[in-house]
Structure 1
Amino acid sequence: MKKISILLLLSGLVFGCASLKKRVHKSIDKSLDSSFFNNQFTGFLVVDPISRDTLYDYNSDKYFTPASNTKIFTLYTALKTLPKKAPALNYIHHNDTLYFEGTGDPSFLHHYLKDSTAYTFLKNSDNLAFCYPNFQDTPMGPGWSWDDLSWYYSPERSAFPIFGNTVMIHDTPTYSVSPNYFTDSVVQIQNAWNREKNRNVFYFDKTARDSLEIPFKTDKKTVGSILEESLVKPINIVLKMPEGEKKTLYGIDMDSLYVRLMHESDNFIAEQLLIMASGILTDTLNSENARNYILENNLKGIPQEPRWVDGSGLSRYNLFTPQSMVYVLNQLYRELPEERLLMIFPTGGVSGTLKSWYSGNQEPYIFAKSGSLSNNYCLSGYLRTKKGKLLLFSFMNNHFRHSSSEVKEQMQAIFETLRDRY
């Protein structure tokens, strides 16, 4: 009799779980089959990483424009290839001269990152020779929109970034330009563009705004001149490093870069991370080296090979599937302590690009990376249910004509169903 009771209890639990799963499916199906989603392209995948069960699957093997969801792949690449401290620069002492070259580290005199390791090292050194040619990539990524070139979110890529490769102009409380090198290059008038297309002439209308951040064009002469002015010492630009073993100076803690990458969706840091990874893997700085390496080695089992052309997701050439996103999320979940992993990702209702969304008016339950381009919005990451389960998900929306806020509202309702019922 006791065995029969236990069997009946287990049977009831299994039936109840199956029934619950069916009800959740039916609820999500109803949302995705509604008129709201009819005239756009949507993919959605939810997986339990412990049981390995697929809880929901909708177009998960189809390719989508991921926007900044691309940064999840960039994060994984950086975590697999880069040390705990950023390689700030490579150097060799030869005779009485310090020869140095960039590694792609984005932190040197960055407007928001507070690390002075490399600056102090160079400031305290004499007879500086800057070697520039190890950068074998393009300043702009493939498929980047040409009319983004004068906006803060589209700085150029380079071997030795300085001030985040942007000019910061403030008119509060007094007028200032950083770096000072560009003070005479700022014209205080209203203009359709923030910068001339092919030269470092900037436009700032202080009647319209009190601050502006504008990418500058990078080249060896400009970077060398900014270095000279910042360090207050001459810099000799050379074509090659002398023979000998290079030493590496390590600087900023990498997790601080990862948090800014994901929380602020920092395109510049994303691009520079792949360049830094390339420098670790090869003797040249080219982001394609890093992308190819990680796909051929650490992500050989990925369900659908992506078209992956940049680190940030600015390019519409990128193509990823929800299955591939969840595959990398699962790799991160298995390879990082949960506390560190969720700290790196923005938290719904709390931090970063998700601060105004997915709070649910309860305990935080969404830890994810958003991706936005016009007519596209994607969100991939981790969802904590009321029962404490951590689920992996990728929700990708392309080609909609609604506002992105309306799309997020629809997504939030589906996330809350998952949170409450699993």
Structure 2
Amino acid sequence: MQFTRNLLFTLLGLLLLQGCASSKKSRVIKKNIGLRLNSSFFENSFTGVILFDPLTKDTIFQHNSNKYFTPASNTKIFTLYASLKLLPDSIPSLKYLVKNDTIYAEGTGDPSLLHSSYNDSSSIKFLKQYKNIAFHFNNYEEEKYGPGWAWEDYDLYFSPERNSFPIYGNVVTIFKNDSLHVIPSYFRNKVGELKQPKNRKAFNNSFFFEPSREDTLEVPFIIDSLHTKELLEEVLQKKVSVINRMPEGGKKTLYSISSDSLYKRMMHQSDNFIAEQLLVLGSSTLSDTLTSSKSIEHILENELLNLKQQPRWVDGSGLSRYNLFTPESILDILNQLYSNVPKERLYSIFPSGGDEGTMKDWYNGIHGPYIYAKSGSLGNNYCLSGYLLTNSGKTLIFSFMNNHFRKPTTEVKIRMQSIFEHIRDTY
């Protein structure tokens, strides 16, 4: 009995000492971050930070964490969350039904079909089996661009149009070695070897490629049912009829690539097109009509109803400046992901410091990555939210949002990295 009592007191003492040490570390970190954020560097911009220990449930530091910020591509964290809730392990590629010798099909928003990063042809191989193909292209019921997107970006690779049946990533890929190469070849006669201020005309599919250009150019093409039909016919090598609505009957679903492969590209390369199409895909599991807003509304009303600060969430990519999120709401999503997704999978989906993509040149540790996080950049804005691994073996969750600065983004990143390194080495 005496031995048991002594052991209990010893354990309690160790827990108290550990708690005191942890509390001391928290105070040191809080003081250090506070001093840095109060420096003249941050005085003319708007900064919000929250740092959380998911094991102890303690908020170690917070500053403007309940204020709304323009999140840029931090929006993709919410898109990832929605996708994990709405989509199965493999991507729904087509919905279809067969009557007699005809297959009737419609798209789900799957962005992988003949995309340069995946070159998936699951739908093509499947459709080729049928003598007659009838396609419904009009099940997407939103604008081709998201609310608040910059109109002048129409010719840039990161701003393809949204639709129900993407093909080739909804971009024309142009490059030159011995001769000019255009993918898809359907647009070959629409490419002029000229130097122009824009890569494409604003209202038609006429493209421009500077003859001396050495790198590959990707230019979004204008979507319409005729172009999609003819592109599909080109790869199928057979005629496709267009129908105004699907016939009555129970539809089946064809699946393509693994969902994680889309999530990783969205997060690592900050791929806006895939982010947008993931929300369209999500709506295909809720309804026969496709809209990204349907996915957003469903997640906010069913999964995130109790968020302390409800976001203004308007697109999947974060291209829109209409999006408004607080560091606390982003941290809430990150914490849910941390609690429900196996760590190996979660950390493979998030970009890691010093690795490829948007984090390649930043936040790299000596013995390996110590940050797994999503960055977000727009003019005068830079945000980073994710997971930080400390030298003591702790995992912390953070959201660090910077809006309205006039200094170079590199200088903002340098100061953020210094803060993260202090946290890593101290906690």
Q: TM-score, normalised by structure 2?
A: 0.96
Q: What secondary structure sits across from 1:281 in the alignment? A: coil
Structure 1 residue 361 displacement after superposition: 3.0
Contact 2:373 2:387 in 1 (8 A): yes
Q: What secondary structure sits across from 1:24 in the alignment? A: helix
Q: Among residues 36, 61, 64, which one is paired with 2:66 in the alignment?
A: 61
1:398 & 1:148 partners in 2: Cα distance? Answer: 21
1:202 & 1:37 partners in 2: Cα distance? Answer: 43
Q: What secondary structure sits across from 2:284 in the alignment? A: helix
Match for residue 50 of structure 1? 55
Q: Is the deviation greater in 158-167 or in 362-371?
A: 362-371
- Matched to 2:193, the amino acid is Q
Match for residue 300 of structure 2? 295
- Give the unaligned 5+ runs of structure 1: none
Cα offsets for 1:249-306 (capped at 9, x unmatched): 1111101001101001010000000001111011210111100000111112212000
Q: What secondary structure sits across from 2:124 in the alignment? A: helix
Contact 1:131 1:238 in 2 (8 A): yes
Q: Does 1:178 align with 2:183?
A: yes
Structure 1 residue 159 displacement after superposition: 0.4
Q: What secondary structure sits across from 1:176 in the alignment? A: strand
2:350 & 2:152 partners in 1: Cα distance? Answer: 29
Q: Does 1:324 align with 2:296?
A: no
Structure 1 residue 241 displacement after superposition: 1.0
Q: Is the deviation greater in 200-209 or in 215-224?
A: 200-209
Cα offsets for 1:356-410 (capped at 9, x unmatched): 1000333210000000001000000000111111111000000111111111110
Match for residue 21 of structure 1? 26
- Matched to 1:281, the amino acid is L
1:239 & 1:49 partners in 2: Cα distance? Answer: 51
Cα offsets for 1:81-111 (capped at 9, x unmatched): 1011111101111222111100000011111
Instruction: Output aligned runs, 1:217-296, within 5 Å.
Output: 217-296=222-301
Q: Is the deviation greater in 109-118 or in 410-419?
A: 109-118
Q: Does 1:148 align with 2:181?
A: no
Contact 1:109 1:119 in 2 (8 A): no
Match for residue 345 of structure 1? 350
1:83 & 1:118 partners in 2: Cα distance? Answer: 17
2:400 & 2:118 partners in 1: Cα distance? Answer: 31
Q: Does 1:309 align with 2:314?
A: yes
Contact 1:82 1:277 in 2 (8 A): yes
Match for residue 398 of structure 1? 403
Structure 1 residue 9 displacement after superposition: 6.5
Q: Does 1:104 align with 2:105?
A: no
Cα offsets for 1:290-339 (capped at 9, x unmatched): 00000111112212000000000000000000000000001111111011
Q: Is the deviation greater in 202-211 or in 279-288?
A: 202-211
Q: Among residues 144, 161, 169, which one is paired with 1:139 in the alignment?
A: 144
Q: What secondary structure sits across from 2:25 in the alignment? A: helix
Structure 1 residue 4 displacement after superposition: 9.1
Match for residue 3 of structure 2? none
Query: Structure 1 residues 168, 26: CA separation in 2 closer, same or farther (over 3 Å shift)?
Result: same
Query: Structure 1 residues 314, 20: CA separation in 2 closer, same or farther (over 3 Å shift)?
Result: same
Contact 2:101 2:130 in 1 (8 A): no
Q: What secondary structure sits across from 1:100 in the alignment? A: strand
Query: Structure 1 residues 38, 227: CA separation in 2 closer, same or farther (over 3 Å shift)?
Result: same
2:91 & 2:138 partners in 1: Cα distance? Answer: 21
Match for residue 34 of structure 1? 39
Structure 1 residue 11 displacement after superposition: 5.6
Q: Does 1:200 align with 2:168?
A: no
Structure 1 residue 6 displacement after superposition: 8.1
Q: What secondary structure sits across from 1:56 in the alignment? A: strand
Match for residue 389 of structure 1? 394
Match for residue 129 of structure 1? 134
Cα offsets for 1:402-422 (capped at 9, x unmatched): 111111110000001111111
Q: Is the deviation greater in 203-212 or in 245-254?
A: 203-212
2:9 & 2:307 partners in 1: Cα distance? Answer: 45
Q: Among residues 390, 406, 422, which one is paired with 1:417 in the alignment?
A: 422
Match for residue 214 of structure 1? 219
Q: What secondary structure sits across from 1:413 in the alignment? A: helix
Q: What secondary structure sits across from 2:285 in the alignment? A: helix
- Matched to 1:420, the amino acid is D
1:249 & 1:110 partners in 2: Cα distance? Answer: 17
1:416 & 1:294 partners in 2: Cα distance? Answer: 35
- Matched to 2:110, the amino acid is D
Match for residue 408 of structure 1? 413
1:76 & 1:278 partners in 2: Cα distance? Answer: 14
Q: Among residues 174, 189, 193, which one is paired with 1:188 in the alignment?
A: 193
Query: Structure 1 residues 3, 198: CA separation in 2 closer, same or farther (over 3 Å shift)?
Result: closer
Deviating 4+ runs (over 2 angstroms): 1-20, 360-363
Q: TM-score, normalised by structure 1?
A: 0.97
Structure 1 residue 2 displacement after superposition: 10
2:351 & 2:233 partners in 1: Cα distance? Answer: 38
- Matched to 2:365, the amino acid is G
1:174 & 1:120 partners in 2: Cα distance? Answer: 30
